[in-house]
Every structure is written in C-alpha cells, then in structure tokens.
C-alpha cells in the first residue's frame, strides 16, 4: 500500500508532489547545507593546526553550528510561508557563502560566531529540501536518495579538499571552495520551486499533537544515540586493540557503508511499515552496543562499526515515513531536520559530560539509554490509518 493510500486520512487532501526537477534542485540545496556535517573534522581540525582554534573551541564550534542549523530549520518550517521560495533560499545561500568567506578572516571566538551564522543560513536552506521531501508522493524514497547523495558528497569533499586545496591554501582555501558551492546553489535555486504546495489542514490548527511530538522525540533520541557513539569510536577502537591506522580504516568503512545503507533504504521504500522496520534496526543496534561493551576482538569490532554505519543511514528514510504515518498533515515531518540535528548535537555533548575523565565505555551506556528510550516511544506510535 502506498503512502498516499495509507498515510493520508480521507478529510485531508493529498499534498501535490513537486515536479522531479524542482525536487532535485531542492535536494541539491539541502546537500550543500549539510556538507559541513561531514566536513567538520577536516575544517575544524585545520583551524586547530593553524592555531586559530583551541582544542576546547573545536567542540564548541561544532556543537554551536549544528545546533544553529537545527534550530533555524525548525523555525523556518514553523514560520516561513512556502511562497517566494527562490528569493528566500537564494538569500540564505548568499549569506551562507558570505559567512564562509568571513570565517577566513577571523580566529578564536570569531570563528565560533561565524560558524553559528553559517549554520543558521544552512538551516533555512535545509528547510527547502525537507519541504520537497515531505511533499513527495514517495517521501521515503526521496529521503533515501537525499541521504545517499548527501553522504557521498561529504565523502568526496572530505577526501578531495585535504588532497588538493588545503595543502596550498590551508583551511581558508577549503572555506572558499564551500563558499563557491553555496553560490552555485544560489544560482540553481533560480530554477527551483518558487512556491510549495500547501500542507493539508490539521484539526490542531497547525500545532503538533502529542503523537507527533513523541515521534520527533524518538528521532531526537535516536540521533543522540548514534552520534554519542560515533564521536567515541576511535578511543573505543583503541580499547579493542586497534592501531590508529586500523581505527581510521574502520571509520572509513562505516562511512562507505552509510552510502549503501541509504541506497538500500531507497530500494526497500514503503514495503515494510516504518514502526516495524525501525524496531528491527534498533534491535540490531542494541546487539552492536552489547558486543562493543563485551570487549570484542579487532575483527569483530570492525564488523560492528561497519554494520553500525550501514544502519545509520538505512534508518533515516523510515523516520520520515514514520512521522508522515502518525501525522498525515506532514507538519511533523517538516520538523524532522531540526530533531535530527539537535539530537546529533545533544548526543556528543551529553556523552562528554557522562564520560568526563572516566572510562570511555560510559559513552556506550548513554547511547544504550538513548536508544532504549527511542525504541520505547516508537513502539507506542501507530499510524492513524493502518498501513
């Protein structure tokens, strides 16, 4: 049964899906908005090497930028009208490029402030991509394509920038390249949608109901579980006896399998109810956490990290579909980016507080707690109309 048959109640009119060209351009702008999420280690690490950020400031800059991105995306979904879209997104792209270029001139606190500004602009850019996905006739497939292309683009730039631009021009060269990409996105949005179809009316008067809030909380906790574990993978690898080179290979393998995970989710589509799929994926993730806690050998550790990377992106399109099933007006799905990004910021922040100066395995406890809470919420959610 398709989304249009199962997810939208009779009183609410179906959302008019944007043309494919407009969806592709909208997703392209969203990919540009999220490039920094995969490039933060490259960019912020270079700032530290050049003496423009301290080690403590790296973590603060990363957290502030992702939080600004998530908050701006959520506020844009709640406040911006889906009209004059080209002007709004074009301006956001130009300001994003300006923030990138301005960052080349500053150090220390100035970098943190401008990374927050760049995150806010990127949040508005991401609003367009999420709006197009939420209105697609098959949002789970559109989401799968988006996360796959997004991750692939991050991988390409994470490999290309340090090998080509940064040896000659340092971090400023990388920032200039990202600014140029944002300018290209501004030009591309001129061919994108200027108006998005209105979402179906809600009995709640546009407010999110308790079920929608619970769904978004589950997404927040899911992403907190993932990133809290992700940021501590290298010290956990050391505990498992891996050399720094082996740990780096394990992380690279996980990143590569993320692309496959997103592609696999696109192929599966809505053939399996999202609640059932997320509970199954969550159970496998729980087994991965238990295996990592048991102190596995090097081979088993690498296998767990690889599976973790695959499941990371495989689950994301089903989060989109879950929110649409529990809120057919698709307003909850418009807040998906905010929930994911804020969870991604809160997870490592909470993990750093839990781990402190103690054993790194405490991060596994926090991740497990977040995952258990997310699965508990998901198990209580049911579509308004059975799938």
pLDDT tens, position by position, 72-125: 999 998 899 989 999 999 999 999 999 999 999 999 999 999 999 999 999 999
Average pLDDT rounded to a whole number, residues 248-266: 86
Cα separation, 108 vs 57, whole angstroms: 7
pLDDT category at 2 given cuts 50, 70, 90 is very low
Cα separation, 144 vs 263, whole angstroms: 6
CB 266 within 8 A of CB 145: yes
Cα separation, 15 vs 196, whole angstroms: 10
Listed range (1-10, 313-322, 340-349) with the worst mean pLDDT: 1-10
* The pLDDT of residue 13: 43
Q: Could you tell me which residues come within 8 angstroms of residue 304 by beta carbon, excluding any fewer than 6 positions away?
A: 288, 291, 292, 296
Burial 105-117 (b: 16+ CB within 10 A, else e): eeeeeebbbbbbb
- Whether pLDDT at 204 is above 60: no
CB 377 within 8 A of CB 215: yes
Q: Which of 310, 317, 299, 15 minimizes the C-alpha distance to 144?
A: 317
Q: How long a stretch of residues is the chain?
A: 387
What angle (nearest 5°) sits at the alpha carbon of residue 222, between those of residues 353 and 64?
Answer: 50
* Rounded alpha-carbon distances, angstroms, from residue 360 to 105, 127, 223, 363: 37, 36, 19, 6
User: Coil, helix or strand for 249?
Assistant: helix
Location of structure tokens 């800059």 = 61
* The pLDDT of residue 357: 76
Q: Taking the mean position of all CA atoms in its chain, how far away is CA 25?
A: 18
User: Coil, helix or strand for 195?
Assistant: strand
Cα separation, 27 vs 5, whole angstroms: 25
- What is the CB-side half-sphere exposure of residue 271 using CA atoms within 13 A? 6
Q: Taking the mean position of all CA atoms in its chain, how far away is CA 118?
A: 16
- Whether pLDDT at 339 is above 50: yes
Phi, psi of 195 (to 5 degrees): -150, 135
Q: 58 vs 306, which has greater pLDDT?
A: 306
- Whether pLDDT at 276 is above 90: yes
Q: Quick one: CA torsion of 78, 31, 351, 317, rounded to 10 degrees?
A: 70
* The pLDDT of residue 345: 86
Exposure of 267 by Cβ count < 10 A (0-12 exposed, 13-18 middle, 19+ buried)?
A: exposed
Average pLDDT rounded to a whole number, residues 273-294: 95
pLDDT category at 384 given cuts 50, 70, 90 is low
* Rounded alpha-carbon distances, angstroms, from residue 377 to 143, 210, 279, 290, 336: 22, 12, 10, 21, 16
Exposure of 21 by Cβ count < 10 A (0-12 exposed, 13-18 middle, 19+ buried)?
A: exposed
Cα separation, 31 vs 25, whole angstroms: 10
Supply 57's token pair: 């400031």
- Whether pLDDT at 144 is above 50: yes
- Whether pLDDT at 387 is above 60: no
* Rounded alpha-carbon distances, angstroms, from residue 346 to 70, 177, 225, 249, 367: 11, 29, 10, 26, 11
Location of structure tokens 């994926």 = 281
Mean per-residue pLDDT of the chain: 87
User: Coil, helix or strand for 40?
Assistant: helix
* The pLDDT of residue 201: 67
pLDDT category at 4 given cuts 50, 70, 90 is very low
User: Coil, helix or strand for 55?
Assistant: helix
pLDDT category at 9 given cuts 50, 70, 90 is very low
Q: Which of 159, 35, 7 minimizes the C-alpha distance to 93?
A: 35
């Amino acid at each position: 049964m398709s989304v249009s048959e199962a997810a939208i109640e009779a009183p609410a009119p179906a959302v008019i899906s944007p043309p494919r060209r407009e969806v592709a351009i909208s997703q392209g702008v969203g990919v540009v908005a999220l490039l920094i999420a995969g490039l933060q280690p490259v960019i912020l690490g270079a700032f530290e090497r050049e003496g423009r950020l301290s080690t403590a400031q790296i973590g603060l800059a990363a957290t502030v930028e992702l939080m600004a991105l998530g908050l701006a995306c959520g506020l844009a979904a709640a406040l911006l009208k889906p009209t004059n879209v080209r002007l709004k997104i074009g301006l956001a792209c130009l300001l994003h490029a300006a923030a990138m270029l301005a960052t080349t001139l500053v150090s220390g606190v100035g970098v943190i402030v401008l990374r927050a500004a760049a995150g806010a602009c990127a949040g508005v850019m991401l609003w367009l991509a999420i709006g197009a996905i939420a209105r697609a006739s098959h949002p789970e497939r559109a989401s799968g394509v988006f996360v796959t292309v997004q991750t692939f683009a991050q991988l390409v730039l994470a490999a290309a920038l340090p090998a080509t631009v940064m040896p000659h021009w340092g971090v400023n060269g990388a920032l200039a390249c990202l600014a140029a990409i944002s300018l290209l996105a501004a030009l591309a949005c001129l061919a994108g949608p200027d108006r998005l179809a209105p979402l179906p009316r809600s009995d709640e008067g546009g407010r999110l109901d308790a079920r929608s809030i619970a769904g978004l909380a589950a997404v927040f906790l899911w992403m907190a579980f993932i990133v809290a574990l992700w940021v501590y993978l290298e010290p956990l690898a050391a505990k498992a006896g891996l050399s720094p080179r082996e740990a780096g290979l394990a992380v690279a393998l996980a990143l590569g399998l993320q692309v496959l995970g997103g592609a696999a989710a696109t192929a599966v589509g809505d053939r399996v109810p999202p609640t059932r799929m997320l509970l199954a994926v969550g159970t496998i993730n729980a087994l991965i956490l238990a295996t990592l806690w048991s102190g596995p050998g090097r081979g088993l550790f690498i296998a767990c990290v690889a599976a973790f990377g695959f499941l990371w992106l495989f689950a994301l399109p089903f989060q989109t579909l879950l929110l649409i099933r529990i809120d057919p007006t698709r307003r909850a799905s418009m807040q998906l980016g905010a929930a994911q990004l804020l969870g991604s910021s809160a997870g490592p922040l909470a993990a750093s507080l839990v781990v402190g100066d103690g054993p790194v395995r405490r991060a596994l406890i926090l991740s497990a707690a977040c995952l258990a809470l997310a699965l508990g919420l998901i198990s209580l959610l049911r579509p308004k109309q059975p799938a």
